[in-house]
Amino acid sequence: MSTTPAPAEDLVVLGKIVSVHGVRGEVKVYSFTDPVDNVLDYRRWTLRRDNEVKQVELASGRLQGKVLVAKLKGLDDREVARSYAGFEICVARSELPELSEGEFYWYQLEGLSVIDQAGQLLGKIDHLFETGANDVMVVKPSPGSLDDRERLLPYTGQCVLSIDLAAGEMRVDWDADF
């Protein structure tokens, strides 16, 4: 497939190819979507690893136990499929579904300034990760922040008071000493 990829800044990472599956060129996928098989809703993937970019088309995919298996169009050889391990699976932001009011994609939260109720800058959201109970925001110090501590804050309604994407801010109920 040879369509022009979206510019890198317009791509969102939805998963990663981790290894091969079977002998017919299928690949195992680690999905960042919820539910995990939502990554299969996108037929055209931009694969990215370091400076290498490939455009591929998804022929089929399935959840097999806890493993997501994908078949890429034109990829029928196990050894060639092995060379795809480590590629991030990306799609253009414009392909993502619209969210309801008050819902956000993780990429929208990354880089927001985190401010506590006292008006103190705790830092900026570096990234988020999922735990069994709730998502967690990794807040790293930034210029002007209260101190040089990295903080892990729960992404819950109790902690997050407001999000203003236009202002680049998130207000939180969090003790700066914690």
- pLDDT level of residue 151 (50, 70, 90 thresholds): very high
Whether the per-residue pLDDT at 132 is higher than 90: the answer is: no
Among the three residues 64, 95, 126, which one is the final residue of a domain in this structure? 95
- pLDDT level of residue 2 (50, 70, 90 thresholds): very low
Both 84 and 113 in one domain: the answer is: no
CB atoms within 10 A of CB 29: 26
Query: Is position 17 within any domain?
Result: yes
The mean pLDDT value for 125-154 works out to 94
154: preceding bond cis by omega (within 30 degrees): no
Separation between Cα atoms, residue 53 and residue 88, nearest integer Å: 9
Separation between Cα atoms, residue 23 and residue 26, nearest integer Å: 7
Question: Could you tell me the residue range of the domain that residue 141 belongs to?
Answer: 106-172
Both 129 and 91 in one domain: the answer is: no
**6-34 pLDDT per residue, tens:** 566 689 999 999 999 999 999 999 998 88
The mean pLDDT value for 100-112 works out to 92
> Domain tally for the chain?
2
Question: Which residue, among 128, 96, 100, 112, has the nearest Cα to 161 in the 3D structure?
Answer: 112
Whether the per-residue pLDDT at 1 is higher than 50: the answer is: no
Are 28 and 84 a contacting pair, CB within 8 Å? no
Helix (H, G, I), strand (E, B) or coil at 132: coil
- The number of C-alpha atoms within 13 Å of 38 and in the hemisphere containing its C-beta is 12
Q: How far apart are the first and last CA of the chain?
A: 51
Among the three residues 75, 95, 115, which one is the final residue of a domain in this structure? 95
Both 71 and 21 in one domain: the answer is: yes
